[in-house]
A and B are shown apart, each in its own frame.
Chain A
Amino acid sequence: MSAKKETKPAEKAKLALYWAASCGGCEIAVLGIDDKILQVADAFDIVLWPVAIDAKVRSIEKMDDQSIDLCLFNGAIRTSEQEYMARLLRQKSKVLVAFGSCAHEGCIPGLGNVANREQIFQVAYHDTPSTVNPDGIIPQEETEMPEGSLYLPLFYDTVKTLDQTVPVDYYLPGCPPEPERIWDALVAILENKLPAPGSVIGAETTVCDTCPRTRNEKKITEFKRTWEIIPDPDVCLLEQGLVCCGIATRAGCGALCPTVGSPCIGCYGPNAGVTDFGARMMSALASVIDSQDPAEIDRIISEGIPDPIGSFYRFSLAHGELRRLVANGNGKVQDPALETA
């Protein structure tokens, strides 16, 4: 990319891409737009993209406020450094996009909100059976070594989404967003055809609407775990009793998982108009159960779906109405209030 810098005209729009608590899959997805990445490099002056090009945080710090035209920010906020970068890039950017599920809803890192820092450290640095730690050492923000001090960022109790940290203009869902949808969004930005601020940039339909499987009337009497049955290859997975989240999940992926015989796990987040994915999913399931008796419906769900958090909030625990729970060993929610970090 650096070779592009020599020829770029000065008036090109400035683009920043950044990652916080994430896996790097969003970066791979961006690279997945293949040779179109060269068009991005032509259209934008990329001022920050740690994974791929030369960049410098301090030069961002020196820029005027709102001088970056577009910032695509992926990853959740788990440490003090990540929060600093979120605030910095918000201040410097005209348009800030929560890019991918971690920034949007907390994603898998957000499942960390079933516990707190102390509990996570206890398992990682004490309880895991390969760990040998007789002195009870845990990583510290500052460690005095013989040669000088070493510093680590503060690890927060709670994982926060980007919009719980700074105001966000748009959301691009998916874990990761599919390259085709990334390109669609970039084209919309380049052509100034963005939806209203605060919108999710994506389809209005659900994964079900794009799924190639045959759908009939759903009358579920029992839910199955994925290892309990070999599903029919052509029929709706939910009808066969598998908890497929396509019914409540925003379209955009092309129903990739059901196409290879696996239930949708909801990585594209709630469909249009829904904020709490888990609540939407549970009501959707209740509506397809072959019973009118609330007690019977409750029994079918609780017996067939032993982990509502992992099933319905796998990608959105940090963002849903629960936001976090204090784990007390029995999985019950003690304090749904979001702690302020």
Chain B
Amino acid sequence: MNRISIDPITRLEGHGKIDIFLDGKGEVANAYLQVPELRGFERFCVGRPAEYMPNITNRICGVCPEAHHMASTKALDALFHVDPPPTAKKLRELFYSIFFATDHTTHFYALGGPDFVMGPDAPVAERNILGVIAKVGMDIAGKVLKMRHDGHHLIKMIGGRPVHPNWGLPGGVSRGITEEQRAEIEALGRDAIEFAKFSLQLFNDIVLGNPAYVDLIKNDAFVSHTYNMGTVDENNHVNFYDGMIRIVGPDGKEQAKYHAKDYLDHIEERVEPWSYLKFPYLKEVGWNGFVDGIDSGVYKATPLSRLNAADGMATPLAQAEYERMYETLGGKPVDHTLATHWARLIELLYATEHWVELATDPEITGTDYRTLPTETPDEGVGCVEAPRGTLTHHYWTDERGILTKVNLIVGTTNNNAAINMSVKKAAQGLIKPGVEIKEGLLNTIEMAYRAYDPCMACATHTLPGQMPLEVTIRDEDGEVIETLSKNI
């Protein structure tokens, strides 16, 4: 059996590795995406006071610490049976909208976008953020840098730190905002809406205006008919901060809709001996292997999944874009993985619109931003949509609020099986007997998993660079017969 190892440069540090096996005919027999790292939060958090968790679990991921901080803070609300005042909830959601807009911007321009803006066949040296800048101009680069700078500035202003905020408490937040701060948040939010509109226009002009790119999005190698997961509000519109978890099948029908606290009735995780990262699946459907379809419990939790699992967007501009995407791609659900980039931009627009909605809410500068808990803590679940998927924190404590058990299902973990399948399908679509394996193979496979913006257990850290890849093709004796590389 021939083996193709696609090792990120991170191979030796344990942040993700792909092995593709070819059978005797030269066809792809199987592909594996391994996550060679584990840190053991669920064990070492036991014994800690529950209120430390927002400041411990944010260290799961320095790219999306805000997501862990928020899921953890919500878990504390549930644990202590305390309902935060309206100002606190709105401040959290404002903070979270700013974070989402900032994170999605980073992904689109630095990681996922270059494939489209430059084209998948562009020279490797140009297919990165610098290539994007060269193609679209410094004016646009300046907009991207301003968006990221504004986002981090406001995250620090509200949450205390640009990385690893220290702000969430059971029943609220540690500090509110002043009118002066609110005015700045609103002004930068209005800039952000224009930036999001501009980003969608850029996608429209460069990608949708090019039939070759549209064909690429619709290419069968990037199609995966799985269940979709996302959080929805009372109107079944996408929400990042709170709501019900909704699962929609590959047939577009609602399979389940439940409160996050009931996730154990719906989600199970499988262990494979070849990866430190577990594989969640839908309990009611069951695990039937790394296959898609209505009889497989494999699901996705991505920007595209959230749009598929919802009936629309809660803000007007994002809703118009939502309708346009589904019209263009032939209705719901969209199973084309590469459309995740488009969905991400629609979410960016929603995040910025919601940012301004909240920044102009009369309650946002209120001084009642904390409710002190009075009940005995016991058990609580907190859930938010992280940029890379539904994020669930579940804590159990003794009567003093000391943790006795912890369960975490983080964003990318939801997609672990689906990413493996997408990698395999992309490889099968490209690697054929008698067809020379070219550098384009590497990028095609890379695109298959880059659409997920994977951050393995928030551990693979593939953001925000181009991932260097190397393909080594060996014969059945293990001798190297060909080596292809990119970015290295």
Contacts and interface: CB of A to CB of B under 8 A. Distances in A.
Contacts of A123: 40, 42-43, 46
B273 interface: yes
B325 interface: no
A114 B458 contact: no
Given A147-B3, A227-B373, 20 more contacts: A23-B59, A24-B455, A79-B37, A81-B13, A82-B14, A85-B13, A114-B47, A115-B44, A130-B268, A130-B280, A132-B270, A145-B274, A147-B1, A147-B23, A152-B36, A226-B51, A226-B169, A257-B166, A262-B160, A314-B52
Interface string A227-257: 1111001000000000000000000010011
A225 interface: yes
Nearest to B11: A57
B203 interface: no
Contacts of B52: 307, 310, 314
A10 interface: no
B43 A115 contact: yes
B141 to A, nearest CB: 11
Interface string A22-33: 111111110110
A81 B174 contact: no
Interface in B76-128: 76, 80, 125, 128
Contact of A108 (B56, B125, B163, B466): B56
A66 interface: no
Contacts of B175: 233, 260-262
Contacts of A129: 264, 394, 405, 407
A262 B373 contact: no
A227 B76 CA distance: 10
A139 B271 contact: yes
A228 B34 contact: no
B315 interface: no
A109 interface: yes
B38 interface: yes
B38 to A, nearest CB: 6
A285 interface: no
Nearest to B392: A130
A112 B40 contact: yes
Interface in B231-278: 263-264, 267-276, 278
19 contacts: A3-B134, A19-B13, A26-B62, A29-B163, A50-B8, A50-B9, A51-B463, A78-B39, A85-B13, A114-B43, A130-B263, A137-B272, A140-B274, A175-B59, A257-B166, A260-B159, A262-B167, A267-B164, A314-B56
B128 A137 contact: no
Q: Please list the 3 inter-chain residue pairs (A to B) with the smallest Cβ-Cβ separation, ordered nearest first.
A: A25-B62, A147-B21, A120-B40
A173 interface: no
Contacts of B431: none
A197 interface: no
A85 B12 contact: yes
A50 B14 contact: no
Given A143-B273, A230-B370, A28 B163 contact: yes
B465 A23 contact: no
Nearest to B394: A129
B12 A84 contact: yes
B32 A150 contact: yes
B55 interface: yes
A131 interface: yes
Contacts of A49: 465
B306 to A, nearest CB: 21
Interface string A44-59: 0000011111111101
A76 B79 CA distance: 31
User: How many interface residues does chain A have, given as a range?
Assistant: 35 or more
A148 B275 CA distance: 15
Interface in B38-83: 38-40, 42-49, 51-52, 55-56, 59-63, 65, 76, 80
A52 B61 contact: no
A133 interface: yes
B468 interface: yes
B143 interface: no
A294 interface: no
Interface string B463-484: 1111010000000000000000
Interface in B16-30: 19, 21, 23, 29-30
Contact of A148 (B21, B47, B65, B159): B21
Nearest to A119: B43
Given A131-B278, A153-B14, A35 B43 contact: no
B170 interface: yes
Contacts of B156: 256
A148 B1 contact: yes
Contacts of B280: 130
A256 B36 CA distance: 34
A227 B163 contact: no
A175 B58 CA distance: 11
A200 interface: no
| Residue among A19, A27, A139 with most chain B CB within 10 A | A139
A32 B30 CA distance: 40
A123 B394 CA distance: 14
A6 to B, nearest CB: 9
B219 interface: no
Contacts of A307: 47-49, 52, 402
Contacts of A127: 405
B201 interface: no
B487 interface: yes
Contact of A260 (B80, B145, B160, B264): B160
B166 A262 contact: yes
B197 interface: no
A34 interface: yes
A267 B3 CA distance: 44
A35 B14 contact: no
A139 B274 contact: yes
A331 B47 CA distance: 8
B14 A81 contact: yes
B400 A111 contact: no
A122 B89 CA distance: 36
A155 B38 contact: yes
Nearest to A54: B487
A124 interface: yes
Contact of A256 (B12, B134, B160, B273): B160
B152 interface: yes
Nearest to A128: B407
Given A24-B61, A55-B488, A109 B39 contact: yes
B438 interface: no
A147 B244 CA distance: 41
A258 B152 CA distance: 19
A192 interface: no
A306 interface: yes
Nearest to B281: A132
A23 B460 CA distance: 9
